[in-house]
Amino acid sequence: DTAVSQTPKYLVTQMGNDKSIKCEQNLGHDTMYWYKQDSKKFLKIMFSYNNKELIINETVPNRFSPKSPDKAHLNLHINSLELGDSAVYFCASSQTGLQPQHFGDGTRLSIL
Amino acid sequence: EDQVTQSPEALRLQEGESSSLNCSYTVSGLRGLFWYRQDPGKGPEFLFTLYSAGEEKEKERLKATLTKKESFLHITAPKPEDSATYLCAVQDSNYQLIWGAGTKLIIKP
């Protein structure tokens, strides 16, 4: 059973489009996260979401918005995609903020 | 500013050749230090958490240690399947994880 699953695995689209990435976790965790991993492999936190409390990294453009229909899902919606948005996006979850995070396999986003 | 630096960027070893990876950090109010392994095309996989200086954790051929300024991941008699990128992350007083860029480990048979 996949613990944290993301779809799609690959996403190729044109500049200016709007796209969404879905994330689901079946671990019963309370906290979910979105990360961006750039070409230099640095993982940068974008959002964390816990019991309807959203913590936003201030460097994230407001074109990015997380949406959580329930505790097991945290989707990422991106408006007006730009070339610089090309990266691998990872979803993760943890039981609490202190516990290790479990990651999905990532969504590779390529902007043409 | 909170920062995590991993060295070396890449390390090539022969099978059976032991070595260590380094993770040095500056962070206000360290809550924990995490080691992860990342294979190509996959998400990071959790290995260890260390909470206080002097703590050590072991798993198979891997052993992680922690001081007040750095952590080491020791690899004893590695095998080709240990090849991966090893990531270090520290958790600050706000529970945010700050990640290093990783060390790419290649074990040649």
Diameter over CA atoms, chain A: 39
Paired tokens of A39: 């070409």
Output DSSP code: residue A52.
T
Whole-number average pLDDT of chain B: 95
Alpha-carbon Rg for chain A, nearest whole angstrom, is 13
Please state whether B94 falls in left (phi above 0), alpha (psi between -120 and 50) or beta.
alpha
User: Does the pLDDT value for residue A91 go beyond 80?
Assistant: yes
Between A52 and B16, residue with greater pLDDT: B16
pLDDT tens, position by position, A13-31 = 999 999 999 999 999 999 9
pLDDT given at position B64: 98
- Is A42 in a helix, a strand, or coil? coil
User: Does the pLDDT value for residue B96 go beyond 80?
Assistant: yes
User: Does the pLDDT value for residue A1 go beyond 70?
Assistant: no
pLDDT given at position B48: 95
Cα of A87 to nearest chain B Cα, Å: 12
Which of A5, A23, A38, A41 is most worth mutating to test chain B (most B CB atoms within 10 A of its CB)?
Answer: A41
- The reply to whether residue B46 touches residue A104, judged by beta carbons under 8 angstroms, is no
Residues facing residue B106 across a β-bridge: B12
Return d(Cα A28, Cα A16) in angstroms, integer: 36
* B40 touching A (Cβ < 8 Å): no
pLDDT classification of B23: cutoffs 50, 70, 90: very high
pLDDT given at position A57: 82
pLDDT given at position B24: 97
